Amino acid sequence: MFRRLWHGLFGVYATTVFLVMVLATVALVAAAPGLATRRRIVRRGAASVFRLTGTRLQVRGLSHIPDEPCIIVANHASYLDGPILTAALPPRFGFVIKREMTRVPLAHLLLRRIGSEFVERKDTHKSAADARRILQKARAQESLAFFPEGTFTTEPGLRRFRNGAFAAAVRGQVPVVPVVIRGSRSMLPASRALPRPGRLEVIVKPALRPSATEPVATLLDEARRSILADLDEPDLTARS
């Protein structure tokens, strides 16, 4: 009973902190000039949420991120994953996010102001147009962060990857950096409305450098294997 009470109180407190920080961050980002400045503000805001809620966020392997432009690919298990990567990664990364987020007014404003790219998952025509835009970003040597699973569910495990991030890496000839997020599924699973106390860990794996002659599928498989090695969750494609 006391455990449930503590989890409930923490959930309400953490959600309140998150909402207050979102409102404050949106106000600052709306007025701030320059993309780099806006991204630094959002990074500090995300880090503040974890600090104010007493949530330990351990980040390992940041030295694996090359100084040159690159593409981050991470597993996706919770709504916390976006704030986690925002707090953990250098602020030079733009996020590639499902277009459904444009229906959330404050989130859309915030994400658009920090240079996020929105992609359609269901409409084939719009999806193709989005893919061409992302490829142009990669060719322009912009650093991007993807959740290549596209979505998450309550079931633990790594889902099938979409190939957009890897096609962009091959076309743009930029490294792919696999990133493992651990702890977010147990802290805020898809089945819960409020978070519960937990520890979070981000593991940045060594970069994978694509060859112009390398099939996109080969790069995708290498990234999945790298993430699975430290994820402590099953490969959900192994049973299909």
Domain count for the chain: 1
Q: In this structure, which amino acid lies at residue 9?
A: L
The tokens for 107 are: 């989130």
Assess if residue 237 is contained within a domain.
no
State yes or no: pLDDT of 125 exceeds 70: no
Range of the domain at 158: 2-231
State yes or no: pLDDT of 147 exceeds 60: yes
pLDDT of residue 239: 66
Classified as helix, coil or strand, 59 is strand
Assess if residue 236 is contained within a domain.
no
Report the CATH number at residue 29: 3.40.1130.10
Task: Report pLDDT digits (tens) over 162-172.
Answer: 998 998 899 88
Assess if residue 94 is contained within a domain.
yes
Nearest-CA neighbor of 70 among 209, 218, 202? Answer: 209
Residues 83 and 22 sit within 8 Å (Cβ to Cβ): no
Assess if residue 133 is contained within a domain.
yes
Residues 119 and 134 sit within 8 Å (Cβ to Cβ): yes
Task: Report pLDDT digits (tens) over 15-65.
Answer: 999 999 999 999 999 999 999 999 999 999 999 999 999 999 999 999 999
Segment among 25-34, 78-87, 100-109 with least mean pLDDT: 100-109
The tokens for 143 are: 């650093």
